[in-house]
Structure 1
């Protein structure tokens, strides 16, 4: 385990897409890529139909403005157009820029734990110090993506099965709803920024054990 965070590719990031297919739609024609089924940590909350996350690594964010990527939207086949217009309850698309990485890459992780924060811009520097250095005070409010937790990298790294943690800042997001209409993503208030931390775990992990319980119940420091 690496004791300190680094940012090996400051120009890179991830394309993060949540989808909720209609009940009669299957995605068996997709044979590759990192795709996850989303769960709340509260077992009383069930997602029906399921929501899926697809996460694509981006070597450089500028590639999203180049023709090969733009053509995916501009030059859809009839089948692709039917999928986007009629087969998805919604498609939520977000683009995040790398800010730091801690831990070792071991291939695609079978389990992800994702936490999001909306932070006032004047508190970003303090927030980053808290997350990386476990300082005395944190600023911000956790919002729901895959779970509702308030913890930092050091606490989570002690959970058995932890592989690495990556942190990102949002640079673009929108919703493509049923019917193909793009709706601007307006959840982030003016003067704020959204950050996410993605914690990677092995399939055999301690997410139901005492270390994780400690991480999620420990007060802000």
Structure 2
């Protein structure tokens, strides 16, 4: 069944990828940096941030299946989208259905292309931040385009699927305890929370029929930092070992989990979005 996108939702396009053994890193970067990203940032004013990251460390676990190698992809890309209506826009969907010959040939060789689309339920950078995971309403967000120079040097992506009956307390813990403690850690920049709308994983390492996409966790947290050094602070070590955190993150309460620490590779100016603000 096709996913449903609410135009009132702010979205996130999160893509993990890996060229694998059949494509060189140079050709992969050249395509990504000079064709793939600019086609989006120059043409769509709904793309308000765009950055690529290298995955420094990753961990994945599941109680339903052994983690696939696709979940160890070495590169990530983050695009903030002002409205989820973009994902239904024929101009946008044609980027996939009418790929350039170069892109089509390269993607037939890459090991992993893991595309995930989310709706935002919390943004600490909003004028009046409010978590809407319980209500399902659109969350208030930062709307201004993010200059490339302000892209965070380090981003941690943590994804979980809570077990049946456990999501409500997980969300409450994140809102009432975890997010406030994160904001007190030296080097913290921003926190956002998302819920999965659609996932598609293809590539030479991917299982057929999007079997890997079905394993993508539902809840995503993006926490942005000045550097990976935050992990060594007393404040961070404290928040990772509270009684409430240990309860809601117990393996009996989490079906699937992923955690990636990523370091900035390159960020782009979102030219169309910037131009739209000047009209």
TM normalised by structure 1 equals 0.72
**Matches of 1:215 and 1:65 in 2, distance apart?**
39
Moved more, 93-102 or 116-125: 116-125
Q: Going by fraction, where is helix more abundant, 1 or 2?
A: 2
2:116 is aligned with 1:94? yes
Write out aligned runs for 1:109-128 (5 A). 109-120=152-163, 122-128=165-171
2:82 is aligned with 1:59? yes
What is the Cα deviation at residue 20 of structure 1? 0.6
Of 184, 199, 203, which aligns to 1:173?
199
Moved more, 179-188 or 109-118: 179-188
**Matches of 2:73 and 2:25 in 1, distance apart?**
12
2:92 is aligned with 1:69? yes
State whether residues 18 and 91 of structure 1, in contact with CA within 8 Å, keep that contact through their aligned partners in structure 2. Answer: yes
Alignment deviations for residues 74-104 of structure 1 (CA, whole Å, 9 cap, x no partner): 1111101012101x21111111100011247
Q: Which residue of 2 aligns with 1:25?
A: 25
Q: Number of residue pairs matched? A: 186
Alignment deviations for residues 92-146 of structure 1 (CA, whole Å, 9 cap, x no partner): 1111100011247773111001211212464433322221113xxxxxxxxxxxx
Of 210, 213, 219, which aligns to 1:183?
210
**Matches of 1:220 and 1:118 in 2, distance apart?**
17
State whether residues 99 and 167 of structure 1, in contact with CA within 8 Å, keep that contact through their aligned partners in structure 2. Answer: yes
State whether residues 99 and 168 of structure 1, in contact with CA within 8 Å, keep that contact through their aligned partners in structure 2. Answer: yes
SS in 1 for 2:237: helix
**Matches of 1:125 and 1:50 in 2, distance apart?**
30
Write out aligned runs for 1:1-221 (5 A). 11-23=9-21, 24-26=24-26, 27-29=29-31, 30=33, 33-40=50-57, 51-86=74-109, 88-103=110-125, 107-120=150-163, 122-134=165-177, 152-178=178-204, 183-184=210-211, 185-187=213-215, 194-203=218-227, 205-221=229-245
Give RMSD over aligned pairs. Answer: 2.9
State whether residues 176 and 182 of structure 1, in contact with CA within 8 Å, keep that contact through their aligned partners in structure 2. Answer: no
Alignment deviations for residues 139-184 of structure 1 (CA, whole Å, 9 cap, x no partner): xxxxxxxxxxxxx212222211101100001111110112997624
Q: 1:37 to 1:101 in 2, by over 3 A?
A: same
Gaps in structure 2 of 5+ consecutive residues = 1-6, 38-49, 60-71, 127-141, 246-279
Q: 1:121 to 1:40 in 2, by over 3 A?
A: same
**Matches of 1:115 and 1:12 in 2, distance apart?**
19
What is the Cα deviation at residue 16 of structure 1? 0.5
TM normalised by structure 2 equals 0.58
